[in-house]
Structure 1
Amino acid sequence: MSHLRVPVFATQVGMLAERVTQAFWPFWTILFATLAPLMMGWQDSLPIEIVWGFVVVMALALIAAAIWGARRFKMPKRAEALARVDSRLPGRPIAALADQQAIGAGDAASEEIWQVHLERMAARSRDAKAVQPDLRVASRDPYGLRYIALLALVVAFMFGSLWRVGSVADLGPTGGAAMASGPMWEGWVAPPAYTGKPTLYLADIPAGPLRVPEGSTITLRLYGEVGTLTVHETVSGRMGEVESASAPQQAFVVEQAGRLEIDGNGGAAWDVSVIDDIAPSVSITAPVEADANGEMAQAFVADDDYAVVSGTATIALDLDRVDRRFGLAVAPDPIDPLILDLPMPFTGSRANFEETLIDNLSEHPLANLPVTVTFAVTDAREQIGVAAPEQMILPGRRFFRPIAKAVIEQRRDLLWSAENDRRVLQVLRALSNRPGDLFRNETTYLRMRHIIRQLVNFEEFGMNDDQRDELAQALWDLAIQLEDGNLADARERLERAQERLAEAMRNGASDEEIAALMDELREAMDDYMAMLAQNAEPAEGGTDQPDGGDGESLDVSRAELQALMDRIQELMEEGRMAEAAELMEQLNQLMENLTVTQGEGGDGPPTPGEQSMEELADTLRDQQQLNDEAFRDLQEQFNPGRGEQDGNQPQPGQGQQGEQGQGQGSGQPLEGGEGGQDGQTGEGLGQGDRPEGGAQSGDGAGGEGQGGTEQSLADRQDALRRGLEQLRSRLPSLPGESGEEARRALEQAEDAMDEAENALRDGDLAEAIDRQAEAMDALREGMRNLGRALAENDMDQPDEGQGGQQGDVTEQAQTERRDPLGRQVGNTGQYGSDENMLQGGDVYRRAEELLEELRRRSADQARPDLELEYLKRLLDRF
């Protein structure tokens, strides 16, 4: 039994730790809770009565906890440890070895069996291992008091000192005698909070050199008879009234290097050196950037040894660089410098960072004038770092219509000097002399006449600053309306309608409120689209609306936006607010992009990026066609001859084709796709790039049998994959993250196509359909990233949804793609479509009927397992 000695001894030691923990955890908790406040020095600031009351209560609690633990503690015995080890072994072999044979003693056969039994138990006992002790006391301490006390003790060790506990004895009547055996002074060095450095306890620091940050506060406390200890220091640089060197408590700020000395019994001295706080610095890192609307972006970098607290940019008129002609020839009225707050990082370190000041100052009097921009930053010690002044023309909104530019120029002259009021009045009168040649509508002309009448009135009776600002605002609004027509007002109404609808989403509006808000949004959308069409400039080429120009793009976008709004309303009425909010964000992005795409277009040759987008769209359409045919073949497996049995009722695979879709073989392409016009499936591969042996869509029609159809679909899937591989190899080199993501997405599409081909060759149509769906999702992701990469690299390829070539191609491809239920894939690129298959209230009833039919079929266990599995996936998805 020697092999049991080690595990039994280890188990006995563990039992000892277990019983000590369970019996004395209250004692340790109370001890930690007593030491923590004393180490932090609470006794030095609290009344002596409270301190001694706390000490007495804690002492009594410690005694009670020790007695409670001693009564419950029992030293573990070896027999108990042996029994615990034995209980972890199967069959308790150790106890069996100590048993005596009860019957059969003296019988040779029985004794032989008993001996074999003992040998087996001995063999089992050799597997004995030490049993881990149970040190958990959560059941006895449900509130975690032991952890709270331990945390307080750890904090006290970090920010306090064990020396302070002895100061409790100094509070008693024999405190003077106790002081002789301990420290008679205490001191702390507290660096400024912004440095992030910890407080130092001087009693723990040996005499000698001491480096502290500039601005640190030194606090000293002297105990005992006054005059026994004195303080001498030269680090504060105090020149005025200084407290007595023997004062019991002293505090001062380190401003310079010097010496700190505590003179007396047990004193110490330090040569203090100061860690200088360096002033921050800031500099401009790039030229100012601005967009057409006048929003400026100025990059800068700032740094400090600890942290920059704040910063400003001061913009002042550079009068020497102003072209003093026309309205700027007179002396300007005083223009106060414009002070902007610099953006600071919300997270991370402020010791060194790069940020960009973004603001739109188009309406400021200094807009489009020479200015000097001075950046300044401040640290926590209020030290200021100033960058060299930067000369620039303060960006403002650019106006392109001559009449709008003239109005803005008069506004600038009026803000330059009030003496220009007569000149501004004369120029505005000249502009309004022949309104038919300059003004698009009567509203803008009447607004200008009203401004002229105000100027006449001000010229007669005088004009104060508030009236001048009001007049400048009126001129600004007039210039905006002259530049954009009514587009700005239409855009404002559209944004207001979108905000109200978003608020309704958050507040859970009723169906009636949703319908009213959607009507308001549609009306505002129609007005905005009309304004876009009215303000769009004719495309180059001599005609106002060339084929493929803005007129066509605008019509397509209008239909797409209407479908997107229908889908938003449907989701809101169904209570799916998160999805509706996501589509609402896409609608906002579409509307923002429409203002950029007006006036673009043309009939020139496509760029390499545009050609790649077209080929990807064709590949996506062909993959959708293969997916539709595979789905019809799967339906034919489950319900042979279903088309003849169902008569004229449209099936999910036929969608909106109606009677045209009935009676077609499984290999016939769907109506509505370009692939259905000539029977080709490889159009997405590019001209001349279709691999040899690519199958026609007519291959494997219903007359060839099921096996031939699957083989034909597999060959066509392989041809489509090889074509995509060739297309990917011809993609233009696009640096950046978007280009890499596009390539990865197309590689994923190839892999999914390869898996779909293998499933088709194995006859697993359900698996093939799933893999084809993955390929289509990856293709759509690749198109989005490719469009984004082309836009980022200035290759005349707009981002997704901006109405350019990509938008036309993807809209065309999306219009022609249908899901297995015959619905068009909507603007979101997901199955479910924005298209209303049924108009009116029947849409919900019909959807419920379809779900009930799916549930009924999935509950029919007589159906093939393959069909049941597919129905289950349909129910999980929809």
Structure 2
Amino acid sequence: MTSGTDPRQTRSFRFLLLLARLVVTFERLWPGLWPGLAVVGVFVVLSLFGLWLHLPLALHLPLLGLFAAALAWTLWRTVRLLSLASRDAGLARLETDSGTKHQPLRALADTLPESFSDPATRRLWALHRERLIASLRRLRLAPPRSDLPRRDPWALRAALLLVLVVALVHARDDIGPRLTSAFTFTGRSAAATLPPIVDLWITPPAYTRKPPLVSEQTRGQASLTVPAGSEARVQVHHLPTEATAQLVFGDGRTPFTALGPGSGEAKLMLGTDGLLGVVDGAGREIARWSVDAVPDAAPSVRFAGTPKATHRGVLKIDLEAEDDHGVAELALLLAPVGREGEVERLLLLKPGSQPPKLEIGTYQDLTPHPLAGLPVKLQLEAVDAIGQKGRSEPLEIVLPAREFRHPLAKAVIEERRRLAGAPDSAMNVAGRLAALAETRAAQEQPIAVPLTLRSAASRLALNESDAASRRSVIDMLWELALFIEDGSLSVAERKLRDIQQELQKALEEGARDSELERLMEELQKAMDEFLEELARQAMEQGQPPPQDLQPLDQSQVVDRRDLQQMLDRARELLKSGARDAARDMLAQLQEMLENLRAGQQQARRPSQGEQALSDLQKMIQLQQNLLERSFQMNREQGQEGQPQPRGQRGQPQQGLPGQQQRGQGQDPMGQAQAEQEALRRALGELMRRMGEAGMEIPRALGQAEMQMRGARDALGEGEPGVAAEAQTQAVDAMQRAGQAMMEQLQEQMARQQGEGPGGQPQPTGRRGRDPLGRAARNDGGMDTHGVQVPEESDLGRARDVLEELYRRSGDRRRPALELDYYRRLLDRF
């Protein structure tokens, strides 16, 4: 817009003025329309809630007339406002929204009378119009403003809208019939005009662990996919009076059971695909779904690698099983080669959680089996919750057999294997067993050995064709061979293996905490008995009791404390609820025990470094004993008030650490000096041997030798207090030297473990790792390799949480709802 141009003459201004007049008209009309809208809203709400369906005709007509009168009155008041706002009202609205002063739009309509011919007046009038036009450079129009907040301070209009939304949700699919029910007068059976409503619930079988489908999920769906065997429950409502309905699935029809007037329910099993529908008595279809019943597939199972025998002949089987709804049972099928019809089924486990996919390794001690040492065919079998079976491909192996070293035990096992492989040779086996009982080897055994051989021979001879008797003799010969070979060690080993398998089975089947705790206690006792029997047998063979236990992997050496720590950690994991981690820990413990052999069976000569470290540890202990004796002698001097001359001091009290029995005529100070000098010479000899072996001598050993020299001199001068100070420094120096020697040995062991037989490097995953596969040393980095087992800090936090739960659950002042929540949490653990 240029200066001096009248804005009212433009097309855009005329359009803006029209909009302003419409805005003013709407602002005047809206308050008048709202009462009519409120009447309509109340009518719709009452109709949607079904008011007209329950009112008698005497109240129906007056109430409907009242609504009509109220609507007519509000509309009549609104008609008076149905006029477009004037031009002046539109100009005033534009002036107000634009923020101008002195009404410039309306002032431009003023004109100067023709009688004014004074040039100055006309010039002044022109300047006045130019100023008005300049003030109209930016004209704006604000949106309409409602006057309802002032007239409705309680916001009843919002409440009406909220109730309207609730009524729409309540009516759902009956919105149209309920709105038209207000104008239905004949018969007063408005409910019969509502269309029937069908609700469908589908509950899958419990073993599938799938959630049910509720009516909100099935409503409006044309097709449904459900597991075969699911239960369909259908309800129909709003049926006409005395009307009937049927549930149709395939060729079958199921009548509805009445639930009330116009309502019924029917149930059926969905075993196959088909159309599920509801029809009324006249055959008209009310609802229909296409059902796709997915059958339960048979489980699959396979060997995850070839089964391998452990050091003790136990068969380790790694397997993978899978099922669409969960594996309920795993078994091993075993049959001798050439006699595939004689299949024996051995139960492996029954997973309590029935996982859809299972990858696990299990140990089976089949060395007592009659077919041990013979070729057999193995096959895995998986069973799901409804009894369907799946089998793996057959695998032919030679069943692991235990190797017996005792000649008599080997002969017994050979006869046992002959009897199991050829049942027709029972008489020949009986004769050979009787002959074995008379041999010198059998007579040198306890009397039970020849008696058992004669008993087995007699049983075979008297019951030659009895399969049960043959099997009992086979079992008897196995127990006899174990007794001859190992004595009571085999009994402890078998007990330990049985408890391990029972515990693993209980974990898989989800046993209670009390049962798991009982099995853990039995496992503790069985492991102690096995290790004690192993040590006893080693001593009987003239070997020292094994302090270390060495698995087949030379890079792992553990002692009984390591095994005990693994067992304690598994118990803590069970108490904290981490059953999966506890199962993994117990599996590792079982694998270690199965592949275990006593360290003295392949006793190796300690290295020079190990021997030097052992000698240094003994010297530290001797020096500590001397230090305690110096403290005692210094205390005695302080009690007497003056030092005693050598040869006249009393002897130390009995029972002090490191003290030896001495006669009354011996000098304690002189004897301590002699022992200190002998210990100093032994330390010097140790440093000489280390130097000759090319080992690095820690500087702390030289410092310890100097302190020993000073302690010797102080004892010779009768000053045990000064000697005690030097001896303390000597102990500290030797401990520092021992730490340095230990680090040297660890580095040497790490280098040696990095190479296998023939100088070949071993896999890096086993270098410098403890029996659990974790790094033995950590140089500041994070070791991500190894087992996923919670650390002590994690277990400590879990114990703290459990203790807090127990404390709160025992506080009876807490609300009942809170106590119930704590009890449910504790039931989980």
Report the TM-score, using the length of structure 1 for normalisation: 0.45
Which structure: larger Rg?
2
